[in-house]
Amino acid sequence: MSMPTDAEIAQSATLEPITKVAESLELGPDQLELYGRYKAKIDLGVVDERRASRPRGKLVLVTAMTATRFGDGKTVTSIGLAQGLGKTNRRHCLALREPSLGPTFGIKGGAAGGGYAQVLPMEDINMHFTGDLHAITSANNLLAAATDNRVHFEQRAIRRGKAEATDATVDPERIVWRRVLDICDRQLRNCTLGQGKASDGFPHQSGFDITAASEVMAVLALAKDRADLRARLERMVVAWTKGGQPVRAGELGCIGALEVLLKDALAPNLVQTIEHTPALIHCGPFANIAHGCNSIVATELALHSADWCVTEAGFAADLGAEKFLDIKCRELGHFPAAVVLVVTCRAMKLHGGVDLDAVGAENVEAIEAGFANVRVHLDNLRRVYGVPVVVSLNRFHFDSDAEIAAVRRLVEAEKADLALYEGFARGGEGAVELADKVAAAAEGGNQALRPVYDLDMSLKEKVERLAREVYRADGVDWSEEAEADLARIQEHGADALPICVAKTQHSISDNPKLRGAPSGWRLRVGGLRLSAGAGFVVVRTGDLMLMPGMPKRSAAQVIGFGPDGNIVGLS
């Protein structure tokens, strides 16, 4: 391909001043806090005011089939779809997650779309942006320091005979709050902190997660306003006492400091697509330990400011769309008007049994076999959740006509709509078909809530229901640890919370090696974790990787300034 790189396309684009982009959302300069010429935060008061006074537009969720390791283009499709809505004169606003520095310097090298479907300025969005992730890092770590500071002084007083350990004493072995950094750094996964002299703290096995995995990130993404943010922060559990009671962040006396640290981070960020349409890029919680969606405030602001709000969710539909529909939409109070299911020929070939390094070669048979994966996701979305779906084939230059014809045939056999998406190569022009089909599918407006489980089910029932209905498991097996976690969590009244399942993104099952539409398997639950501030119970199946490592050759070794002073290596 002779196509320019993402960075080259971004740098050759002419941006509109962000004040001009804001006008398309009827936002005046007084409602913006500028971060340079091309980024702004929007005053939180606007969100409240529009929620109260303006009708809600149509919500469109972009999700995907189970992906290859390359990713399959959810973000590129979301951005291109927004651009396509613009090309077809539909008032719209994109609402996406913000990238994390860790993956940017690790394997991914950026997360602001690609080709002619990008959000700009991509160099800033991929770096510090407006500082939200840094604010979250600071707040998370201040809370960690405050927790350990309490333990340090409690233990010191006990050591010096000035106090006695009671049921209310924090159990130093059960501090659950970890520190975070926005980086890929395997050295930080497991550490012993507090070594040295007694004045250097107390020895404690702990570690760091990546910032996107912090519960503070999930809390910020779910908070409706400042009061809700405060209430959620206060509820977060940082440790357990000797007597088995949760120690909440609110008991440490530093919630005010956390609020001040997060005061700007709660306000949504406005940028533009490469075609100058508005994009809110705000919050990016992990899609395993958290729900994996952009913020409630950004989504609601977009919904109440435009006729169309396009958004996305992490990983494939069994993970991302599920959490979007079962967790985030419950907070929003409604389902989307339509869902876009992104598929690629190479992902279908992978699920049809082809090795990853051979998915570029034509193989219609493998596509037919691998379509089983698409069928499960399609069925989940339409039958289980009751939302209209448009299948969007993210077209690559190596897809053959025969392959595309096969996909068309397969999708038609399911009585579903297919759009050929070419936004990467052609921008909004390449997404006109998708935009029109989404508009048609969304005609009925935002759908009524129809989550897969009800909140008044027990936690076990919820997991069972989700596993059977969405993952197509034969049942659920609970480890001893999970049973113990469950008992403790139920004791503290968290049975009524939604669940947030951390599961491999490489399979609909809990086994990353099972491709296509696995059947005849049972979901193994390893443990539970109460995210009381976010308001869900994390259900762990398999290993939970919360601090990625750097590959031997990392994007950090490619990113830099080129000879002309432009940034290279970002994509």
Residues 529-558 that bind a second copy (CB under 8 A): 549-550, 552, 554-558
192 binds a second copy (CB under 8 A): yes
Write down the least CB distance from residue 230 to a second copy, Å: 9
Return the residue of 107, 257, 425, 452 that touches a second copy, per CB under 8 A: 257
CB under 8 A: which stretch of 56-64, 138-146, 378-386, 419-427 binds a second copy?
Answer: 138-146
Site residues for a second copy, 237-256, by CB under 8 A, read 252-256
By CB under 8 A, what part of segment 91-120 binds a second copy? 101, 105
Task: Closer to a second copy by CB, 181 or 223: give it.
Answer: 181
Which amino acid is located at 33 in the chain?
E
* Minimum gap (Å) between residue 211 Cβ and a second copy: 11
Regarding 148 and contact with a second copy (CB under 8 A), the answer is yes
Both tokens assigned to 351: 């699920």
Distance CA 402, CA 486 (A): 51
Three-class SS of 84-125: HHHHCCCCEEEEECCCCHHHHHCCCCCCCEECCEEEECHHHH
User: Which DSSP symbol is given to 383?
Assistant: I
How many chain residues bind a second copy (CB under 8 A)? 73
* Contact in structure between 347 and 72 (CB atoms under 8 Å): yes
The residue ranges of DSSP E strands in 383-438, in sequence order, are 389-394, 417-421
Phi/psi at 278 (nearest 5 deg)?
-75, 140
Residue among 129 and 453 whose Cβ is closer to a second copy: 129
Nearer to a second copy, 23 or 368 (CB): 23
Identity at 450, one-letter amino acid code: R
- The verdict on 204 binding a second copy (CB under 8 A) reads yes
Q: Does 195 bind a second copy (CB under 8 A)?
A: yes
- Which of 60, 111, 223, 559 is close enough to bind a second copy by CB under 8 A? 559
Which residues make Cβ contacts (< 8 Å) with residue 18, sequence separation at least 6? 32, 34, 37, 38, 39, 40, 270, 271, 272
E strands present in 166-318: 170-175, 179-181, 191-193, 204-206, 208-210, 237-241, 246-248, 269-273, 278-281, 308-312
Q: How far is the C-alpha of 177 from the C-alpha of 485, rounded, in Å?
A: 16
Q: State which of residues 166, 187, 458, 519 lies at the interface with a second copy (CB under 8 A).
A: 187
The residue (of 76 and 559) whose beta carbon lies closer to a second copy is: 559
Among 183, 283, 467, 538, binds a second copy (CB under 8 A): 183
For residue 190, state whether it binds a second copy (rule: CB under 8 A).
yes
Distance CA 486, CA 491 (A): 8
User: Which C-beta is closer to a second copy: that of 146 or that of 416?
Assistant: 146
Residue 123 in contact with a second copy, rule: CB under 8 A:
yes
Can residue 184 be called a binding residue for a second copy (CB under 8 A)?
Answer: yes
Q: Which of 158, 163, 176, 191 binds a second copy (CB under 8 A)?
A: 191
In angstroms, the CA 167 to CA 284 distance is 37
